[in-house]
Amino acid sequence: MPVVRVALDVPVDRAFDYRTDAATEADIGRLAVVPFGRGRKVGVVVGVAAQSELPDARLRDCLRIARDLPALPQDVLALAAFCADYYRATPGEVLAAALPTALRRPEALTPRPVRGWALVDSAAVPGPEGFPKQATTRRALIIALRAGPMHPDAVLAFGTTARRALADFEASGWVQRIDLPPTPASDASIDAPSGADPASDRTSGVGPALRPAQRAAVETIAATFGRFSPHLLQGVTGSGKTEVYLHLADRAMHGVDGAQTLLLVPEIHLTPQLETALAARFGVDAVVALHSGLADGERLARWQRAQRGAARVIVGTRLAVFTPLPHLALIVVDEEHDASYKQQEGVRYHARDLAVWRARARGVPIVLGSATPSIESWRHAQAGRYAHARLPERANGVAPPPIRLIDVRTRITRDGLSDALVDAIAARVASGEQSLVFVNRRGYAPAVVCHACGWTAPCPRCSARLTLHLRRGRLLCHWCGHDEPVTEACPSCGNLDLRPRGEGTQRVEQALAERLPQARITRVDRDAMRRRGAFAQVRAGVAAREIDVLVGTQMLAKGHDFPRLTLVGVVGADQGLFSVDFRAEERLYALVTQVAGRAGRADRAGEVLIQTAFPEHPLYAALVEQNFDAFAAGQWAARARYGFPPAVHQVLLRADGPDEREVHAALDAAARAARATGVDGVAVHDPVAAPLARVADRWRAQLLLQSTSRSALRRLLDAWTLPVDTRRVRVVLDVDPTEP
């Protein structure tokens, strides 16, 4: 009897055989529902065979192969297989992570009728002309409903108000809910009818005329359509990288009919804005956004539009790298240096690196865009492995704001703020301009210190200090969430002189409010932005000029254009200079550049002021000169000299558990096993405690393997028997780790 080989989301590195009536090669890539243990699982068919090597008695029946859904294409299966092999996971685990949640539940794959909408009696229902012109959604819905019943997945294409409109129609007795056949929505029922929305006509809108550097980049990259060619697009903030991406997507679309562009972006909260811009340019039909903030059904519907080739531009976060794209012609990774491209749990893949692999496998160009590229990509470009396109000027022609340092060794600061910075903000407030003060920490102060004995409030569950959150009167651990009331007296010596040390956003906000009572100040950090929609409200407030000063963390760094924002202050950046993480400087440089990029986006000149006690530090020197290449060259030289990535390749075995000794013993055994493989050219370091040795009562340690040869490292990984994951010690292999 034929069998299907099914990859399942389990940490077992082989596919599982299941008996089936008939199976063909065409089933490869299809989803299958199979019994597993006492339950059922959804897996992906990765092979078919005439018979299994397993004895018949051990074989179970495949319950269903989802032939009503399109199969995953060969290149996605290959990408998943590569990802599994490279990051030491199983193909089933990768595929499970790559599939929309709605496809991973066995129940969801069992056909059942779906509830749609249909007109009760079209004669009794007003036509589109019966609605005011502005009621575009209602008009479009009526047109579509007259053509036939509507699938629930189709509704979202009519915009966010469509559901309410349908409910109103139902209340008016115009439409009723009906059962639709259990087939997946077809193209016709999912995609909004052409012309239903004013923005949906297929002809591309036009953007601004490209500046010479943008044009040159577009031409260079477009010349490589149809083959694998990696490009680093290094453009200062505000240089119009997005415009380059849009032009390229447009070219791809018009060069080859139906060509698709995959645009990866780091942040969810950036996608709505970008999505709007893309929809305005290409029409709503042509664009889908994929991110983890979507409801399951919506995500599936969008994913399927990409899979069918109906969507031409697919914009998404990390996970979107696995989207099936039959007509893929171009991949763009925006802000390619961003840390969020690396998945930090489960399969620890790097979406940028997988995107490059996918571009190579598909024979299409890939653009990695950034103002501050990762040292990895910058080095590839320097070495000639990537083409290097540059946008050295801002698109609006205005010079970037000068960056100046405020030396806090020679000036008095109060609550972390120098007079020079406060005066500069006051001047902006007086002239009706806006300021942004970037603080690297949330809370009031990163530590509470006893001035008699030096005690600082520790987290009882972590090897970390507690952060003072004065508003709530609590001490909070930013690692495990532990919180406790602020103590009056030092628990160690009884002294009452406990003082906050260091500055968080709350302290800076409060100090500014005291010193600039006339200013309207708003804080933007995770604490202040907990409420849904809070961030959008802040943006609206800034746009309406109801806010003079924003105080916040890196939430403020990205992607917002505020034309009247002319001053950016940076407080507390120095703590990024002396970190145990060799990437801390690279991150700090990128972060400050991004924050600084918020100033003077429109025609007004801006200014950036950085408070520092280390004005001679090379990082600040490069920032002041706005010379990323000098900074990157220095980083690369140091890493090559001292043996850090990308000069070497690393694999980190991370372990954690409730017992410190057991955790270290597991890693000691792993280190011995690694050495015993006898593979040359790999340094197996001694296991050490993690930089944060304990989090939430679990001890953490790590074992670093390092080599200049990727293949040596991989040979060792192949030969290495890893310690098993037990309830006492959890072990995770992190290939190309990005966190210490």
By the criterion CB under 6 A, which residues form the site for ligand ADP? 208-211, 214, 235, 237-243, 395-396, 561
Q: For residues 142 and 450, which CB has a smaller minimum distance to Zn ion in the complex? A: 450
Q: Which stretch binds Zn ion (CB under 5 A): 182-190, 287-295, 395-403, 469-477?
A: 469-477
Q: For residue 513, how far is the Cα from the chain centroid?
A: 34
Give the one residue of 280, 480, 624, 648 binding Zn ion; rule: CB under 5 A.
Answer: 480
Q: Which stretch binds Zn ion (CB under 5 A): 206-214, 273-281, 492-500, 661-669?
A: 492-500
Residue 82: contacted member of Zn ion, ligand ADP, none (CB under 5 to 8 Å, by partner type): none
Q: How far is the CB of 693 from Zn ion (least distance, A)?
A: 12
Residue 450: contacted member of ligand ADP, Zn ion, none (CB under 5 to 8 Å, by partner type): Zn ion
Residue 395: contacted member of ligand ADP, Zn ion, none (CB under 5 to 8 Å, by partner type): ligand ADP
Size of the site for Zn ion (CB under 5 A): 15
Spatial distance between the Cα atoms of 369 and 232, rounded to a whole number of angstroms: 6
Q: How far is the CB of 398 from ligand ADP (least distance, A)?
A: 10
Spatial distance between the Cα atoms of 334 and 350, rounded to a whole number of angstroms: 14
Identify residues 437-456 at the interface with Zn ion (CB under 5 A): 450, 452-453, 455
Tokens 């003082």 found at: 499
- To which H or E segment does residue 619 belong? helix 618-625
Coil, helix or strand at residue 588: helix
Q: Which stretch binds Zn ion (CB under 5 A): 224-232, 403-411, 461-469, 717-725?
A: 461-469
> Does residue 117 interact with Zn ion by CB under 5 A?
no
DSSP 648-702: SEEEEEEEEES-HHHHHHHHHHHHHHHHHT--TT-EEPPPEEEEEEEETTEEEEE
Q: How far is the CB of 466 from Zn ion (least distance, A)?
A: 8
Close Cβ partners of 63 (under 8 Å, ≥ 6 residues apart): 32, 33, 34, 35, 40, 106
Q: Please give the residue whose beta carbon sits closest to ligand ADP in the complex.
A: 240
Q: How far is the CB of 332 from ligand ADP (least distance, A)?
A: 11
Give the one residue of 251, 394, 482, 649 binding Zn ion; rule: CB under 5 A.
Answer: 482
- To which H or E segment does residue 307 belong? helix 296-308
Q: Which two tokens stand for residue 237?
A: 């903030």
Q: For residues 356 and 395, which CB has a smaller minimum distance to ligand ADP in the complex? A: 395
Whether residue 283 contacts residue 199, with contact meaning beta carbons closer than 8 Å, is answered with yes
Residue 492: contacted member of Zn ion, ligand ADP, none (CB under 5 to 8 Å, by partner type): Zn ion
Three-state SS string over 4-56 comes to EEEECCCCCCCCEEEECCCCCHHHCCCEEEEEECCEEEEEEEEEEECCCCCCH
Whether residue 456 contacts residue 601, with contact meaning beta carbons closer than 8 Å, is answered with no
Whether residue 231 contacts residue 331, with contact meaning beta carbons closer than 8 Å, is answered with no
Q: How far is the CB of 198 from ligand ADP (least distance, A)?
A: 21
Q: Which two tokens stand for residue 478?
A: 């930013």
Q: For residues 87 and 562, which CB has a smaller minimum distance to ligand ADP in the complex? A: 562
Pick the closest to residue 116 from 197, 169, 181, 194 (CA basis): 181
Residue 561: contacted member of Zn ion, ligand ADP, none (CB under 5 to 8 Å, by partner type): ligand ADP
Q: For residues 13 and 561, which CB has a smaller minimum distance to ligand ADP in the complex? A: 561
Spatial distance between the Cα atoms of 58 and 39, rounded to a whole number of angstroms: 16
Q: Which stretch binds Zn ion (CB under 5 A): 74-82, 337-345, 481-489, 614-622?
A: 481-489
Q: How far is the CB of 92 from Zn ion (least distance, A)?
A: 34
Q: How far is the CB of 474 from Zn ion (least distance, A)?
A: 13
Spatial distance between the Cα atoms of 571 and 417, rounded to a whole number of angstroms: 8
Q: How far is the CB of 395 from ligand ADP (least distance, A)?
A: 3
**Which residue spans within 196-352 are E strands per DSSP?**
229-235, 260-264, 287-290, 313-316, 328-333
Give the one residue of 390, 461, 604, 685 binding Zn ion; rule: CB under 5 A.
Answer: 461
> Does residue 496 interact with Zn ion by CB under 5 A?
no
Residue 734: contacted member of Zn ion, ligand ADP, none (CB under 5 to 8 Å, by partner type): none
Residue 493: contacted member of ligand ADP, Zn ion, none (CB under 5 to 8 Å, by partner type): Zn ion
Whether residue 660 contacts residue 653, with contact meaning beta carbons closer than 8 Å, is answered with no
- To which H or E segment does residue 608 belong? strand 607-612
Q: Which stretch binds Zn ion (CB under 5 A): 17-25, 482-490, 527-535, 656-664?
A: 482-490
Q: How far is the CB of 371 from ligand ADP (least distance, A)?
A: 6
Torsion sign across C-alpha atoms 408, 412, 418, 420: negative
> Does residue 693 interact with Zn ion by CB under 5 A?
no
Torsion sign across C-alpha atoms 289, 290, 294, 295: positive
Q: How far is the CB of 481 from ligand ADP (least distance, A)?
A: 35
Spatial distance between the Cα atoms of 30 and 311, rounded to a whole number of angstroms: 21
Q: How far is the CB of 476 from Zn ion (least distance, A)?
A: 9
Q: For residues 368 and 679, which CB has a smaller minimum distance to ligand ADP in the complex? A: 368
Give the one residue of 292, 492, 575, 627 binding Zn ion; rule: CB under 5 A.
Answer: 492
| Interface with Zn ion (CB under 5 A) | 450, 452-453, 455, 459, 461-462, 477, 479-480, 482, 490, 492-493, 495
